[in-house]
Amino acid sequence: MPFEKLDLSAAAPVFSWANHPLAENEARMAANVASLPFVFKHVALMPDVHLGKGALVGSVLATRDAIIPAAVGVDVGCGTVALKTPFVGDQLEGKLKQIRLDIEKMIPVGMAENAQVESEVTHWSGWRSFSALHPGVQRCEQKALKQAGSLGGGNHFIEICVDTEQAVWLMLHSGSRGIGNLLAQRHIDTARDLAKLAQMHLPDPDLAYFVSNTPEFDAYWHDLQWAQDYARFNREIMMARLKRVVEKQLAGGRPFKPLLMVNCHHNYAEREVHYGEKVYVTRKGAVRAQQGDLGIIPGSMGAKSFIVRGKGNRESYCSCAHGAGRLMSRHRAKQTFSLDDFIAQTAGVECRKDTGLIDEIPGAYKPIDGVMAQQSDLVEVVATLKQVVCVKG
DNA sequence: ATGTAC
C-alpha cells in the first residue's frame, strides 16, 4: 500500500502508512514533532502507529543537529531476536509443557534477575566503560550485571514458533532492562531542565532536545549507544540459554548450528545516510528495513509473526512496523476480557493461563495481517511463524 | 517498561 501525505500544518510533512485514520491526539503528536526546526525532510508513521510519550510509537524521524531523548524513550534498545533451528514442528510433540517449564527455570522473567553472574556475562566488553556512564547510575552496576540475560515484563516474551514450512524458530523480545531505563530518564530530565532554563518554546515538554556539539548531547549519545549494546547483548544471552533448553529437549543436549539469526532493535537511534545526508535517525517502535535488512515483526501472543526483508523505501527512512500495535490500553483490556476469553484466544499456545496475562490477550492488539498488508512497499515476508510456546514476565 | 512509592 502506498503511504499518505498528511498536511498537519506543521513545518515538515508527515508521511503515514497507518491503517487507521489518525485520532486527534495522534495527529497533534505527529504535528508537534514535525514542527521542530531541526527535523529533516518529513516524519514517517508506520502501520502500527499509536500514542506514545512525546512522539508516536511507530514513528521514524531524522534530525540534522539535535536529538530528542524522550522520543527514543526509556526502553532503550528494545527489540527482538529470532533464530531458525534445524528442527521440525513434529519433533516438539508432547514436549511443549516441559520446554516452557525449562525456559522459566533457565531465564529470569518479570521482576526476577539472575542469582549469580556467569562468565558469559562478565566477558561482555561493555562493562569496561561502565564508569563512563552517567554518574546517576554508578550504584547500579551489580544490578545491571544480574539483569543481563533477564526478560522483564509487559509485552516482553520468549517463544518457540513453527513456520509454514514446519521449521522450528526461537524468538524473544526484550530491551535494556533497568539500567537503560534509568540512563534514559536521567538524560530526559537533563533535557527538560535545559529547555526550562533557556525558556525554550516547545509544543510539548516531552520534546525537549539536545543540540549536537554540546556536552549534554555527547553524554546522552554515549549512554544511548551503550544501552543499545547492552539490550542486544541481553537478548543474545537469553537466546543462548533458550537454545540450550531446546537442545536438551530435542537433541539429547547436542548443540545445533543455527540456520539463521536476526537481532534487531525497534526503539533506538543511530547515524544513517538518507537523501545523501548523514542524519540522526530515531526509530520509536520501528525496525530498520534498508534494502536486504532482515527484520522481525511479531504479532500478539496468539497471532502470527513475520521474518521480513527490507526493500529500502526511502520515504520511510528505510523502516517498517515493529509489531501489531495495541488496540486498547492494558486497563481497558482487563475490563473487557475474562480469563475464559484469554484461554480461547490462546488456544494451541503452551503458556500460563492466568488473569495476570489478560492485558496481553490477543484481542487487545490489532490483527497483524492488516499491519502487514499496509507495508508491502517497505518489506517482503521471508518466513511466517506461529508460536506454540509463549513465556511472559 | 521499570522500580518505587502509595
Is A195 contained in some domain?
A: yes
Q: Is residue A83 part of a domain?
A: yes
In this structure, is residue A344 part of a structural domain? no
Contact yes or no for A323/A297 (Cβ under 8 A): yes
Q: Determine whether the distance from the CB of A136 to the nearest atom of strand B is below 7 Å.
A: no
Catalytic residue flag (residue A20): no
What is the predicted pLDDT for the residue at A134? Answer: 96
Instruction: Identify the pLDDT of residue A7.
Output: 84
Whether A332 is covered by a domain: the verdict is no
Residue A352 included in any domain: no
What's the domain count of chain A?
1
DSSP state of A21: P
- Protein-covered nucleotides on strand B (Cβ within 7 A): 1-3
**How far apart (Å, rounded) are the C-alpha atoms in residues A304 and A324?**
10
Bridge partners for A340 per DSSP: none
| Within-domain flag for A388 | yes
Residue A9 confidence (pLDDT): 79
* C-alpha span between A179 and A146 (Å, rounded): 11
A354 is in an annotated binding site: no
Nearest to A15 by CA among A375, A380, A379, A328: A375
In this prediction, residue A2 carries a pLDDT of 82
pLDDT score, position A1: 65
pTM above 0.85, yes or no: yes
In a domain, A21, yes or no: yes
Å between A178 CA and B1 C1'? 9
CATH of the domain at A149: 3.90.1860.10
Integer Cα distance of A192 and A199 in angstroms: 10
Angstrom distance, A8 CA to B1 C1': 30
* Alpha carbon distance A134, A223 (integer Å): 7
For the stretch A299-345, pLDDT in tens is: 999 999 999 999 999 999 999 999 999 888 899 999 999 999 999 99
pLDDT reported for residue A290: 98
CA separation for the pair A10, A33 (Å, rounded): 9
Residue A120 lies in a domain: yes
Domain range for A37: 4-327+365-392
Instruction: Give mean pLDDT in consecutive 10-residue pieces for chain A, a chain of 393 residues.
Output: 84 92 94 96 96 95 97 97 98 98 96 94 96 96 97 96 98 98 97 93 95 97 98 98 98 97 98 98 98 98 97 98 92 94 96 94 95 97 98 94
